Amino acid sequence: MKQVRVGIINATGYIGMELARLLQRHPRVILSSITGRSAIGQKLGEVLPHLADIELVIQPHLGDVDLVFSALPHKSSAEALLPALEQGIKVVDTSADFRLKNAEDYQKWYEFTHPGPQFLEEAVYGLVELNRTDIASARLVANPGCYPTGALLALAPAVKEGLIEPDIVIDSKSGVSGAGRTLSLNTHFSEANENVNAYALEGHRHLPEIVQELGKLNPGLSFSVTFVPHLVPMNRGILTSCYAKLTAMKGTGDKAKERLMKLYAEFYRDEPFVKVLTVPPRTKQTWGTNLCLIHPTIDLRTGRLIAISCIDNLMKGGAGQAVQNMNLMLGFPESMGLEGAAIYP
């Protein structure tokens, strides 16, 4: 059975180390090259003892690979990936650098001029449940952001079927690992512990990504989205609550709720990593997995859709989804290397 040589750019960040953890046991992958912004010249297993089985040395530059993951921050990721793209190497980018189709949006939302705008149209948005066919034939996949993953999966069935008005409120709460491994005041233990705060009220960087992909689901609507993220004192996980006024749902009362549940269950019927639940999910129920758990219901007093989703931000919101994309790009079974159950409690 032929194996594929895979590399990770920046294997010492949270997403990078999760990728290494998943890939070291993937039956069709040889993790053959890793880079880092720190600890160059050291073995990854020495720097990260939980990955002690990986004896690869962290290098300043990537070696020969068939597919590369980039786990660098925005701007740095696109710059590092341009040589691989010009050589025709398959790429999965976990940063935001190829998610948006309009190059000018990077100046507005990320405050940099995109170094490779010629690749934006080619890039496929890597939300597998919505773009599976295109991902399978892609050579450049833009792994979705953690917040958009939870929000889009929660809203997709209702938006696709035209059940809601385009004025949508999204409330998301994320664990601290979503901020990355670089030290900052807001993620300092004394600041984050026993504390919850909303941030980016003027517009989070993931907002244009959410609006862009909602528009693809239902091009006839012009979406107005209020997105408010929150930092909560836990290591990992995202709980997203979405609200929108219903415009079309047959039946009343519990019958309407049953119809909504049936619609969501049918939409995700064959999806290995999306489960539609009859009760609201909890973040720990996805801990360490590539699952997205969704609970749709109706506020009968106001006629609003309420759709709740939970993911692990480092897995379905990051490395797990990236491996899912890789599997499709290389023709492997989609769930290969991602079959583990959640660790609970």
Spans in the chain with pLDDT lower than 50? none
Strands (E), the chain: 4-9, 29-34, 67-70, 90-93, 124-125, 140-142, 164-174, 197-198, 224-231, 238-246, 274-276, 292-299, 304-311
pLDDT, tens digit, 9 for 90 and up, residues 41-87:
999 999 999 999 999 999 999 999 999 999 999 999 999 999 999 99
**Residue 2's pLDDT is what?**
83
Q: What is the mean pLDDT of the chain?
A: 96
Alpha helix (H) residue ranges in the chain? 14-23, 44-47, 76-86, 104-109, 128-136, 146-160, 189-192, 207-217, 253-267, 319-329
pTM (two decimals): 0.97
**Residue 223's pLDDT is what?**
98
**Active-site residue, selected from the candidate residues 146, 242, 292, 310:** 146
**Residue 264's pLDDT is what?**
98
**Residue 250's pLDDT is what?**
64
Domains, the chain:
4-143+318-329 (3.40.50.720), 147-311 (3.30.360.10)
Active site residue 292: no
**Residue 252's pLDDT is what?**
72
**Residue 192's pLDDT is what?**
95
**Residue 183's pLDDT is what?**
84
